[in-house]
Amino acid sequence: MSPDAPRADNKAMPTDLQTVLKLSVPVIVQIGRRSISLESVLGLGPGAIVELDRQSEEPLDLLVNNEQVGRGTAVKVGENFGIRITEIGPPSERIEAMGQ
């Protein structure tokens, strides 16, 4: 196939930028990480505490597609939690994170 020939999967790709911008993507707010054995995971139950790798006053990571795009602090919104964004990467980095 020549490099200029259209690929079959290109037909499924939206060409309208507004359509792409309306797509929903999962956003993760990560408070920390911890590796533990499967045996320990199976032993977890209500009331168990898993210690994480960061201090309570450190900022939270904002992830899109498991790629960090920003940071922020935890806030309470009514009865829920939220994140107040304190740092955000440039649009080019955010777009790159969504494409991986």
Helix (H) or strand (E) run with residue 91 in it:
helix 91-99
Percentage with pLDDT > 90 across the chain? 53
Work out how many domains the chain is built from and give that number: 1
Residue 47 domain-assigned (yes or no): yes
Residue 8 domain-assigned (yes or no): no
The CATH number assigned to the domain holding 35 equals: 2.30.330.10
Residue 54 domain-assigned (yes or no): yes
Global pTM value: 0.66
Cβ contact 50:33 at 8 Å: no
Judged by DSSP in three states, 10 sits in helix
Residue 15 domain-assigned (yes or no): no
Tens of pLDDT, residues 60-88: 999 988 889 999 999 999 999 999 999 99
Q: Which domain holds residue 84?
A: 26-99
